[in-house]
């Protein structure tokens, strides 16, 4: 938290991701007095006020004026209007962090000349403190700004720095990635129930197996290929299942799906 000591942080947009960041900052010891947020929704403003006891407004400029760090957490379709409204009150003394998908550094820097900007691509598990985020720094950003962004997003998961040219790929892999997990679990549950397992048993068996497998993969230092070999004995049940997946070219379809997501990310980008 040393990078954030004495800083004032304002969130423009206080939906799920904004609230996740507020929760992460408070959990790291930031004073609620140094946090503020704005949102167009009165219901969201009430929720944030009651949940976090921080200052909340519907006036974006008021939040920007009282903040050193401004996090833009609004939807892409609202972005141009929001940035246009904030531009007159943002200066070189601010740090602007954007978490909007598809909004490039070039687009931001043209509209906020001279303002230090960091672009971050987080994902939904940040809302439960298990996120994965990629960040990239704009031209005016300095090492201190890097540390600030790392401290903010490190409070809700892991964060890495990547050149912006990789952002379409990271969007496809980790930004969209949670949906792939949910898709797999849904199909897995349906198949388990078709074998006669009760719904509650099927769901718990799958979630614990998935979580345990991921911990093993992360902590063992062994490749996925090697771990597959450890589970799949010759002529056994796992080998029978894996043969079906190979025959259906599932790995190739996964690659095709990620390429489609990355291609769509490029199409949606604002430059």
Please report, for the domain that includes residue 192, its CATH number.
Answer: 1.10.3730.10
227 shares its domain with 256: yes
**Rounded to the nearest 5 degrees, what angle is found at the Cα of 233, between the Cα atoms of 229 and 234?**
110
Among the candidates 163, 197, 230, a domain finishes at: 163
Residue 67 belongs to some domain of the structure: yes
**Do residues 106 and 112 touch, judged by C-beta distance below 8 A?**
no
Q: What is the number of residues in the chain? A: 271
pLDDT band at 65 (very low <50, low <70, confident <90, very high): very high
What value does the mean pLDDT of the chain take?
Answer: 97
Among the candidates 134, 163, 192, a domain finishes at: 163
Residue 202, pLDDT > 80, answer yes
Output the pTM of the full model: 0.95
Residue 109 belongs to a domain with what CATH number? 3.40.50.720
Residue 169 belongs to some domain of the structure: no
Question: What is the rounded end-to-end Cα distance, in angstroms, of the chain?
Answer: 33
pLDDT in tens, 243-270: 999 999 999 999 999 999 999 999 999 9
* Number of separate domains in the chain: 2
Residue 1, pLDDT > 90, answer no
Q: What is the pLDDT of residue 22?
A: 98
**Rounded to the nearest 5 degrees, what angle is found at the Cα of 186, between the Cα atoms of 184 and 189?**
105
111 shares its domain with 181: no
130 shares its domain with 196: no
Q: Which domain holds residue 198?
A: 177-268
Q: What is the pLDDT of residue 154?
A: 97
| pLDDT, mean of residues 63-73 | 98
Residue 135, pLDDT > 80, answer yes
251 shares its domain with 135: no
pLDDT band at 271 (very low <50, low <70, confident <90, very high): confident
62 shares its domain with 133: yes
């Amino acid at each position: 938290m040393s990078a954030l000591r004495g800083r004032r942080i304002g969130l423009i947009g206080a939906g799920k991701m904004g609230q996740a960041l507020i929760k992460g900052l408070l959990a790291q010891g930031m004073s609620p007095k140094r946090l503020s947020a704005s949102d167009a929704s009165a219901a969201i403003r009430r929720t944030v006020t009651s949940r976090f006891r921080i200052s909340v407004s519907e006036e974006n400029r008021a939040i920007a004026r009282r903040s050193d760090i401004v996090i833009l957490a609004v939807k892409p379709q609202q972005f141009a209007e929001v940035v246009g409204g904030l531009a007159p009150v943002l200066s070189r003394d601010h740090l602007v962090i954007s978490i909007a998908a598809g909004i490039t550094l070039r687009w931001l820097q043209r509209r906020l000349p001279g303002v230090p900007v960091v672009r971050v691509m987080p994902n939904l598990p940040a809302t439960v403190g298990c996120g994965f985020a990629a960040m990239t720094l704009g031209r005016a950003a300095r090492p201190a700004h890097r540390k600030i962004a790392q401290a903010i997003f490190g409070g809700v998961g892991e964060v890495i720095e990547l050149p912006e040219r990789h952002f379409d790929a990271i969007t496809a892999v980790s930004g969209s990635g949670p949906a792939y997990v949910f898709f797999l679990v849904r199909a897995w549950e349906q198949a388990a129930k078709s074998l006669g397992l009760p719904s509650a048993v099927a769901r718990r068996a799958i979630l614990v197996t998935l979580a345990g497998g991921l911990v093993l993969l992360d902590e063992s230092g062994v490749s996925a290929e090697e771990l597959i070999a450890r589970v799949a004995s010759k002529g056994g049940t796992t080998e029978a299942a894996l043969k079906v997946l190979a025959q259906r070219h599932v790995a190739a379809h996964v690659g095709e799906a990620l390429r489609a997501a990355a291609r769509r990310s490029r199409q949606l980008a604002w430059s």
